[in-house]
């Protein structure tokens, strides 16, 4: 029966309350309503099949994985971590082998994983130890889920598991339980034990006897994001080719950073012992590194083939191909450059006119004009002018150097290039 007097009292209180309290009251009412009306439950029969695809569709979730056994030898683990879409994970915890206890920390992104050691982060190919879905799938794959019971919040199922790490020969009698949230259909817990009896705990070591395996899931869509640690594959000590003022050095370093960012190359650039140290996330060839650290004055010239073998400028590494430069067509800032590397058998570098100079455009459009690609006074390659204000070079460099050249050509010219003092 509804107490009308109480309702009236509450109504009088709300109408008499200051306006500033109304938003708080409204939020309280809404939150209570959402809690009291969570929505219809998912189907109990299909929930086990859909639970893991529902989990993988989330932005993130937190997990805890722990297991232990005493036979055939003592083995255990206790990890806490989280998964972040699309395929990133963080694992932090312990491995127990016999009497030894080892702290482990992993980061995993795509096909790579990073393990934190005393020497820093080490990168390796990703294994099953950093894939929570694979860990669970080993236990549940192909198993029939038999409905056990339900509560207001969850469904419970039982199944006959197999633990390839803890019981590879399948000699133990194991029992498994799966718990799924009734409303969201998300998995909450997977638990495997050697028997349904109460497992005892050793008061001295704190390790529970028997076999157990458990995975728990929570913090759905609010577990966090994963950032890959930086692992240097190559370290290069560099110095400017000439002495620079503090301002000029700062500007030169800033331009070098922009080149590295255009390449999407992981790096760290820091001053050490009065020198600059460039640490790269992947190994770079000496040719590409020389390009990256060059002043980067890239020009297009009209040229003529030299008739004498001892005159003119050598084109690339071919001493038999020499040219004489005639007229400067384009220089940094007057063109758009693009490296075309896939799926072509050899890379192409295209320069497109952006200066709007019709006289220059006429030169470039002349198919018979020989155009030289010049970097800091050195002729890299030659091509014939083509239409649409575009010159295409196809006979120089590989995929790596083509991408570096495009990044250098798209940035400012350095006040001074860098020389390599040491590389390892």
- Closest C-alpha to 178, from 208, 136, 221, 210: 136
Instruction: State the Cα–Cα distance between residues 139 and 158, nearest whole angstrom.
Output: 12
Residues 403-423: tens digit of each pLDDT = 999 999 999 999 999 999 999
DSSP per residue over 292-351, as a string?
Answer: HTS---EEEEEEEE-SSTTSSEEETTEEEEEEEEEEEEE-TTSEEEEEE-SS-SS-EEEE
Residue 58: what pLDDT? 96
Mean pLDDT over residues 8-12, rounded? 42
**Around 1, how many Cα atoms within 13 Å sit in the side-chain half-sphere?**
3
Residues 314-370: tens digit of each pLDDT = 998 888 899 999 999 888 888 889 998 888 788 889 888 776 665 566 666 666 789
Mean pLDDT over residues 57-69, rounded? 96
Instruction: Among 188-197, 201-210, 211-220, name the one with the lowest average pLDDT.
Output: 201-210
Banded model confidence at residue 87, pLDDT cuts 50, 70, 90? very high
Residue 183: what pLDDT? 94
Residue 39: what pLDDT? 56
43: pLDDT strictly greater than 70: yes
4-18, 180-194, 314-328, 383-397 — most confident range: 180-194
Residues 122-145: tens digit of each pLDDT = 989 999 999 999 999 999 988 999
Residue 344: what pLDDT? 79
Banded model confidence at residue 164, pLDDT cuts 50, 70, 90? confident
Banded model confidence at residue 401, pLDDT cuts 50, 70, 90? very high
Mean pLDDT over residues 59-83, rounded? 93
Residue 359: what pLDDT? 55
Residues 145-159: tens digit of each pLDDT = 999 999 999 999 999
Mean pLDDT of the residues in the chain: 84
- As given in the structure block, the two tokens for residue 100 are 């030894």
Instruction: State the Cα–Cα distance between residues 182 and 147, nearest whole angstrom.
Output: 13
- Closest C-alpha to 130, from 190, 96, 90, 86: 90
- Within 8 A by CB and 6+ apart from 62, the residues are 80, 81, 82, 217, 218, 219, 223, 224
7: pLDDT strictly greater than 50: no
Residue 354: what pLDDT? 73
- Closest C-alpha to 299, from 389, 189, 381: 381
Instruction: Among 51-65, 206-220, 347-361, name the one with the lowest average pLDDT.
Output: 347-361
- As given in the structure block, the two tokens for residue 308 are 């004498």
Residue 388: what pLDDT? 67
Residue 356: what pLDDT? 60
Check residue 218 and give left, alpha or beta (phi > 0: left; psi -120 to 50: alpha). Answer: beta
CA angle 50, 53, 56 (to 5 degrees): 150
Whole-prediction pTM: 0.64
Residue 275: what pLDDT? 82
Mean pLDDT over residues 243-269, rounded? 93
Residues 20-39: tens digit of each pLDDT = 444 444 444 333 433 334 45
- Within 8 A by CB and 6+ apart from 291, the residues are 375, 401, 404, 405, 408
392: pLDDT strictly greater than 90: no
104: pLDDT strictly greater than 50: yes
CB contact at 8 A, 397 and 403? no
Instruction: State the Cα–Cα distance between residues 356 and 336, nearest whole angstrom.
Output: 12
């Amino acid at each position: 029966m509804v107490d009308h007097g109480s309702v009236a009292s509450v109504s009088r209180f709300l109408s008499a309350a200051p306006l500033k309290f109304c938003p708080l009251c409204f939020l309280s009412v809404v939150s209570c309503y959402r809690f009291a009306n969570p929505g219809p439950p998912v189907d109990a029969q299909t929930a086990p099949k859909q639970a893991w695809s529902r989990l993988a569709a989330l932005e993130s979730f937190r997990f805890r994985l722990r297991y232990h056994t005493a036979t055939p030898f003592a083995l255990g683990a206790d990890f806490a971590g989280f998964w972040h879409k699309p395929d990133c994970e963080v694992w932090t915890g312990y491995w127990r082998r016999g009497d030894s206890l080892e702290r482990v920390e992993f980061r995993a992104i795509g096909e790579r994983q990073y393990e934190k050691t005393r020497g820093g982060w080490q990168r390796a190919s990703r294994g099953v130890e950093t894939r929570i879905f694979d860990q669970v799938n080993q236990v549940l794959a192909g198993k029939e889920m038999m409905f056990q019971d339900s509560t207001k919040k969850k469904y419970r199922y039982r199944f006959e598991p197999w633990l390839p790490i803890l019981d590879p020969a399948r000699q133990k009698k194991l029992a498994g339980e799966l718990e799924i949230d009734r409303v969201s259909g998300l998995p909450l817990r997977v638990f495997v034990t050697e028997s349904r009896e109460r497992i005892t705990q050793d008061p001295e070591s704190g390790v529970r006897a028997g076999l157990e395996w458990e995975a728990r899931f929570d913090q759905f869509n609010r577990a966090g994001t994963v950032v890959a640690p930086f692992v240097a594959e190559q370290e290069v000590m560099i110095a400017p080719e000439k002495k620079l003022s503090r301002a000029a050095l700062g500007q030169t370093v800033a331009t070098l950073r922009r080149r590295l960012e255009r390449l999407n190359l992981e790096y760290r650039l820091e001053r050490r012992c009065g020198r600059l140290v460039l640490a790269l996330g992947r190994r770079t060839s000496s040719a590409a590194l020389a390009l990256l650290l060059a002043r980067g004055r890239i020009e297009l010239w009209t040229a003529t083939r030299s008739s004498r073998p001892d005159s003119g400028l050598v084109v690339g590494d071919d001493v038999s191909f020499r040219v004489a430069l005639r007229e400067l067509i384009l220089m940094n800032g007057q063109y758009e450059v693009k490296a075309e590397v896939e799926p072509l058998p050899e890379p192409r570098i295209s320069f497109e006119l952006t200066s709007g100079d019709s006289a220059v455009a006429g030169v470039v459009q002349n198919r018979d004009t020989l155009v030289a690609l010049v970097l800091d006074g050195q002729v890299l390659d030659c091509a014939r002018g083509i239409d649409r204000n575009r010159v295409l070079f196809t006979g120089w460099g590989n995929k790596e150097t083509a991408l570096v050249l495009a990044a250098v050509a798209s940035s400012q010219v350095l006040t001074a290039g860098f020389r390599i003092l040491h590389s390892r």
